[in-house]
Amino acid sequence: MTPSARIAAAIAVLADIEARRRPAADALKDWGLSHRFAGSGDRAAIAGLVYDALRRKASAAHLMGATTSRAVVLGMLRLDRGLDLAKLEKMFDGSRFNPDPLTADERSALAAAADGKAFADAPSHIAGDYPEWLDLPLARVFGDDRVAEGRALAHRAPLDLRVNTLAVSKEAGRDPEALRGTIAAELAHLKPQRTRWSPVGLRVAIGADAKSPPVHAEPAFIKGQIEVQDEGSQVAALLAAARPGDQVIDLCAGGGGKTLALAASMANRGQLYATDLDKRRLAPIHARLERAGVRDVQVRTPRPDVDVLEDLHGRADLVVVDAPCTGTGTWRRNPDAKWRMRPGALSERLAQQRTVLDRAAGLVRPGGRIVYVTCSLLADENTDQIQAFLARHPGFAPVPAEKTVSVLGDAAPAFLDSVLTFPEGLLMTPRRTGTDGFFVSVLRRSIAI
């Protein structure tokens, strides 16, 4: 397919998403099934166009003065891909399989983008590419910076990998940097770069039209030496500071991403219990544990009317709560979720967070810790939730951020300067740390009972 034909296909997919109010992944899958002539490179390029258009949906529509799928794609190509009017006129020429020629209004709108004044009077939610109803919640956290934070969330995320020290380290005394170098050499064809904050992270940049590399087919992945995990998620697991010999509970383990990272921090010594409110989310964890060489994890599958952690009450050194949340910090990876999110979803997540935090409180021993993590940017799910928890459980107190970041070693001072800090915890964002958005709060239980 030509670049122009790919653009025409992306416009059609976006129209389907809008008409049927469906997830982008479903619409792209259906398009691929009905256009089997399209190769994998074509499908990847079309998906890239669709997701980039969704990331810039509000600003692109504002630029073009219309909300149609064609307008959104045109606006995105100008704003995100940097295509000027001359290039767009060549691509939108109306020939077979190509989009119709540009109209006079479209030419005028695209030309206006060149003078940089298209967003001078635009509302914050338009300039920042986020839903209007979230403007006040984001203003609570970021103030006038919310537009810049929103724009950072409207760009494609890189591919981050975590080096699994359990599988790579076969020699005593090898440091994480040496292990990371070993894997980087094995993946040299992907041109990985060392992550800034995580000492066991590698980052692979992905171009606008490029396919995500088939990491799952790499020998290093098959041997359990690497895992796909955003650097912010890696850092959150490191801030939990699980140590060899600890008794640790991962209360919202899901597919096991942070469980695996915690097990690596514990060096397979101690005991790690993984569970989740929804047993379906635990399904992938068993194969992942085996592939990663993890030996200190017990998976506790939830059962109706049974407390599968009853024997652990008051015994845990550490309980990690990777809480269900709105996912506003992951909009780079899930741009269509940004526009499908509704206020009711926030209320539901807040109730789930309260439930799981209260459950965690009963599992921690005196002197032990709860580490609360969300991939949300909203104070309702982060600082407000922690304040409410502390009011219900006065035996806990937050650990200051400057103490929790020491596990990052030499990177700790710069990391602390980059994140937003609060009395209740710290917040990473794409704009500040180059990661997905993550809030982390470390809560210590008083030794006095």
Which residues are marked as active site?
375
| CA 144 to each of CA 83, 123, 131, 422: distance values in angstroms, whole numbers, following the listed order | 29, 12, 16, 18
Residue 276 assigned ligand-binding role: yes
- Residue list, annotated binding site: 276, 322
- Residue list, annotated binding site for S-adenosyl-L-methionine: 276, 322
